[in-house]
Structure 1
Amino acid sequence: MMAWTWMVFGFALLATVTGLYLSLRQKRSVESNRGIVPARFAEKVSITAHQKAADYTAAKLRLGSIGSIWGLLLLAIWTVGGGLAWLGDLSASFELSVVWSGVLFMLLFFLIGSLIDLPLELYGTFAIEARFGFNKMTLPLFFSDMAKQFVLMLAIGTPLAWVILTLMQSTGSLWWLYAWLFWTAFMLLMMWGYPTLIAPLFNKFEPLADGEMKSTIEALLKRCGFESNGLFVMDGSKRSSHGNAYFTGLGNAKRIVFFDTLINQLEPIETEAVLAHELGHFHHGHVKKRLAVMVFTTLIGFALLGWLSQQSWFYAGLGITEPSDAAALLLFMLVMPVFTFVLTPLMSYFSRKDEFEADAYAVANSSGEALVSALVKMYEDNASTLTPDPVYSAWHDSHPPAPIRIDHIESLLPKS
């Protein structure tokens, strides 16, 4: 029991210290290069924008460091501090059935967790994002979003928890396999239905207006043989001035979404180049590969949980004196990130590899010069640092650092 406790908190401490060390490296890198725009970007990015990016990055790093320390403390409070044990007793006091008592246990955990996280979220949105001119969120909108998320948690989380806990109760030692099959089906359903059922609860989606932008994008889609369920503009400016574009949905429900902020930032040819990059992910099968990885890793996770849930030390070593299926699920969700953090640099490496391939596809099917121009605008408008620490970047960054990425794109351009 004690060995398991020491293992969990040893890894948790290692993960926290590693994160703090990497954040310190990143902070030193951006602050030491704050005074001069890198020569590579000197003609394209102003010193004011460069310094803003450095200060914004440092502020987010400080908040992230506070969050990681707070997360370590919360892990201790929920486990050896008796938080889950108390919550389990509270849920059992309502004298519901075993399954419904477990559902209540899980819902209360997530509700309390969201309230605990609220101060950091408020500070990040209304202090940091507002200080750097990105936040467009109002307090009424913030709490309206929060209320909608709570209703969705009840509407979706309640039956989801009920089904999984019922499977754990009634299907024997292979419950984890049936639960994995159900979870996979649920995730695929959510990926299909999210664009039309959930996303519109939070944002307005308007079809992309006729004009040069739409004609340029439709021509690209035709050249690349890509079919979607429409081109939409999302009112992202309602909450933030950050710009972005993304694909969402599966099968015939696929749609392309542009933030209205991005549409205002970029020229039509630049938007086409950004979209060509996203099409590159589909062309190279990155979306399917990531989906396959997700399905496989969740299978491993459910199998591991199936074994752990039968071990008394799994509960006793983390403060649970009365084992239950709901407690097993919550403990697993709490401790798994402690051990999987070591996989972060590997996942980041493969993600950056995919980005390089998508960039190459964009250069081949659109304009590489326009892609470079669009990226520089997006780096500047989103206050992305141009001088990241290489170790921090290798560990955390899903996209290549700005200088490396643009050098790669320009290496693919026809030589004059």
Structure 2
Amino acid sequence: MAYVRTHRDAVPDAFKDTISLEAHRKAADYTIDKARLANVDRIVGLVILLLFTVGGGIDVVNRFWAGFELSPLVTGIAVILSTMLLINLFELPISLYQTFVIEERYGFNRNTPKQFITDLLLQTGLSLAIGGPLLALILWIMQSVGNYWWLLAWSIVMGFSILMSWAFPTFIAPLFNKFTPLEDETLKKRIETLLDRCGFQSKGIFVMDGSRRSGHGNAYFTGIGDSKRIVFFDTLINSLNHDELEAVLAHELGHFRRKHVLKMLVASALITLTGFALLGWLSGQDWFYSGLGVSSQSNALALLLFMLIAPVFATFLQPIIAYFQRRHEFEADDFAAYYTRPIYLINALVKLYRDNASTLTPDPLYSAFHYSHPPASIRIANLSAKSS
């Protein structure tokens, strides 16, 4: 925050001709406001974590459901789901403030209270409908399979992740947004030509009504196998010209052609496998429960405790993951620069930085730890070198 504030009143030399001082200051203020809220969110999250673990919150929830004398499996499902619902409820004010105060202040919010509540209920319903059976299956495996239950549970979770990657664009995403086939025939023809040059097969090119909730723009491809589709936010379509849109798409295709999705899936699988193996050991340790404020032991309590505390230790993986993500972004930029002119992607990125109020001067140490994308100046310099 201090670094961004210090550089608030001077546009970096590389952007002086394309980003106004007013836009640069807006991006700095937006970044600082989001950082302040993120700090509040961390404190709230810490308090909630301590209350539910060493503070005895999970123990209270567990005793409540144990009083109904249900089967261990049903009790375990109820304890986990009710705890997660309570935590999400406590964190809801942060999300409301982000949407209706910060995003509204900077002109990005298009959401309404009705839409926000509808989305929240739909997300909760889907989580219960999809996550509930998966949770029940994992708890049953923990109870029935033996010492190496974690290996089977990991296999099922990874299979479920791949299934959801296939189902998301076709069945889940349309519940939240409207996806319409790209109608601009000139742009569509250019994109299809690019796809042919890159050897990419897609089930279609769609425009998503992102402006329904936010003024931010983006593009992505999603799905696996026969469900792959290309998606442009309508805000992006309205902001970029055809050359720039083609360059942005080429960048996204670069992630596919350079197998970044597969590499991240493999990394995720290895991390998840390690996590399940660790849980398999921790679930048999008395101190794991007593040290985290739980007076009894069960598979459900072990799983719940691990789900809550694992992100704390996973923080140490963040800079490593971010490093590889930034490498992938450079590789995707290089791919786009090969199949389109680098200047087109540069122009698109500058517009995206400006329209999304992304700071051009992030703190180097903070960005190295947290950012999945290279800082603007470094990324633009890399592309500019390919133009010469």
TM-score tier after normalising by the smaller chain length: over 0.9
Q: Secondary structure at the match of 1:247?
A: strand
Which residue does the alignment assign to 1:152? 126
Cα deviation digits, residues 264-284 of structure 1 (max 9, x gap) = 010011000011011111111
Deviation of 1:211 after TM superposition, in Å, equals 2.1
Instruction: Name the residue aligned to 2:227.
Output: 253
Alpha-carbon offset, residue 94 of structure 1: 2.1
**Taking structure 1 as the reference length, what is the TM-score of the superposition?**
0.92
State how far apart, in whole Å, the 2-side matches of 1:400 and 1:47 are. Answer: 22
Correspondence for 2:367 = 393
Match in the other structure for 1:88: 62
TM-score by length of 2: 0.99
Residue 285 of structure 2, aligned match among 304, 308, 311: 311
**What corresponds to 1:298 in structure 2?**
272
Q: For residue 366 of structure 1, what is the aligned residue in structure 2?
A: 340
Q: Deviation of residue 210 (structure 1)? A: 3.5
More deviation, 236-245/71-80:
71-80
Residue 149 of structure 2 aligns with which residue?
175
Secondary structure of the residue aligned to 2:147 is helix
- Is 1:339 paired with 2:313? yes
Residue of structure 2 equivalent to 1:59: 33
Contact 2:342-2:383 at 8 Å conserved across structures? yes
* CA distance in 1: counterparts of 2:84 and 2:169, whole angstroms: 24
Q: Look up the match of 2:72.
A: 98
How does 1:366-385 map onto structure 2 within 5 Å? 366-385=340-359
Write the distance in 2 (CA, Å) between the matches of 1:112 and 1:49: 40
Q: 2:192 aligns with which of 218, 224, 232?
A: 218
8 Å contact kept, 2:48–2:87: no
CA–CA separation in structure 1 for the residues paired with 2:34 and 2:367? 15
Tell me how far apart the structure 2 counterparts of residues 381 and 209 of structure 1 sit (CA, whole Å). Answer: 24
Whether the 8 Å contact between 1:107 and 1:157 is mirrored in structure 2 is: no
Letter in 2 for 1:46: S
Matching residue's letter, 2:180: E
Contact 1:315/1:323, CA 8 A, preserved across alignment: yes
Structure 1 window deviating more from structure 2 (138-147 vs 289-298): it is 289-298
1:410 equivalent to 2:375? Answer no
Equivalent in 282, 296, 299 of residue 256 of structure 2: 282
Q: Which residue of 2 aligns with 1:131?
A: 105
Q: Identify unmatched segments of 5+ residues in structure 1.
A: 1-26
**CA deviation digits over 1:335-366, x for unaligned, max 9?**
11111211111111111111111100100001
Tell me, in whole angstroms, the C-alpha distance in 2 between the residues paired with 1:241 and 1:218.
27
Coordinate RMSD, CA, aligned: 0.8
The counterpart of 2:178, out of the listed 204, 218, 222, is 204
User: What's the CA shift for 1:59?
Assistant: 0.2
Q: Structure 1 residues 88-97 or 158-167, which shifts more?
A: 88-97
Q: Contact between 1:216 and 1:269, CA under 8 Å: does it hold in 2?
A: no
The answer to whether the Cα contact below 8 Å between 1:167 and 1:179 also exists between their aligned partners in 2 is: yes
Partners of 1:210 and 1:55 in 2: CA distance: 36
Question: In structure 2, what is the Cα distance between the partners aligned to 1:214 and 1:123?
Answer: 39
Q: Distance in 2 between matches of 1:137 and 1:28?
A: 31
Q: Across the two proteins, how many residue pairs are aligned to each other?
A: 388
Which runs of 5 or more residues in structure 2 are unaligned? none
Runs of 4+ aligned residues of structure 1 deviating over 6 Å after TM superposition are: none
Work out the percentage of aligned pairs sharing the same amino acid: 54
In 1, the alpha carbon distance for the partners of 2:105 and 2:308 equals 33
